[in-house]
Amino acid sequence: MTDLGSDEVVVYPGECQALPLTRLSTLRLPAGSGPRHLSFHPSGRYGFISLKLSSELAVVRRDPEGGQLTLLQRLSTLVKGPADGNLPAEVLVSPCGSFVCVSNRGRNTVALFVWDPEETRAQLVREIPTLGQTPRSMTFTPCGTFLLVANQDSETITVFSWDCSLGRLEAVQRVPCPTPTSLCFLPPDAAEPAQHA
């Protein structure tokens, strides 16, 4: 669990039988960095944390036995320019596992990082304008070929086509939506209407 106020990421047991919860471990990040969202690589061995207050991406290694997290890397979510007024939000790993996306509120961009599993390092490759204001939540479609970005203050959802082989995002549609803040897809069976006898 990310704790923005204390600059920590706390690991709890996966199966909680009783309250209060018992901490398994704590990753302490630099003061004032503000961890906001965490997303794991499909392998489960690495995690990526958006640092809201320092406009950074943190890369961590996860111990498969105890779940402890080790900080490997911190890098800016901005290609250039000051971070004044920028507040990263969502962090997503692409379905193919080769890229990481972070939404930049303020700059109104998606920061795209390439992930090198051999070097266990991420690298910022570009920022893509979201064509809206204050991008908060993002999600890939279940088929993995589109990325949806919720632009809260412009009341739109921007749909990007996604090419994992090239690491390319291209805006294809903007959909009106009142103050979108969170996006997700329901499982196919949950979206079907209930059947009555």
pTM, to two decimals: 0.91
pLDDT value, residue 141 = 96
Q: Is residue 139 in some structural domain?
A: yes
CA distance 167 to 184: 22
**Tens of pLDDT along 20-38?**
778 889 999 999 999 999 9
Q: Is residue 17 in some structural domain?
A: no
Residue 193 has pLDDT above 70, yes or no: no
In the three-class reduction of DSSP (H, G, I as helix; E, B as strand; rest coil), residue 142 is classed as: coil
181: domain CATH number is 2.130.10.10
CA distance 148 to 11: 29
Q: Is residue 195 in some structural domain?
A: no
Q: How many CA atoms lie within 13 A of 166 on its CB side?
A: 7
Q: Is residue 191 in some structural domain?
A: no
Q: Is residue 194 in some structural domain?
A: no
**Tens of pLDDT along 120-136?**
999 999 999 999 999 99
Once rounded to an integer, what is the mean pLDDT over residues 57-62? Answer: 98
**Tens of pLDDT along 65-79?**
888 999 999 999 999
Tokens read off for 90: 């969502």
Q: Is residue 105 in some structural domain?
A: yes
2: amino acid identity, one letter: T
Q: Is residue 128 in some structural domain?
A: yes
Which range marks the domain in which residue 169 is found? 2-12+23-185
Residue 194 has pLDDT above 70, yes or no: no
Residue 16 has pLDDT above 80, yes or no: no
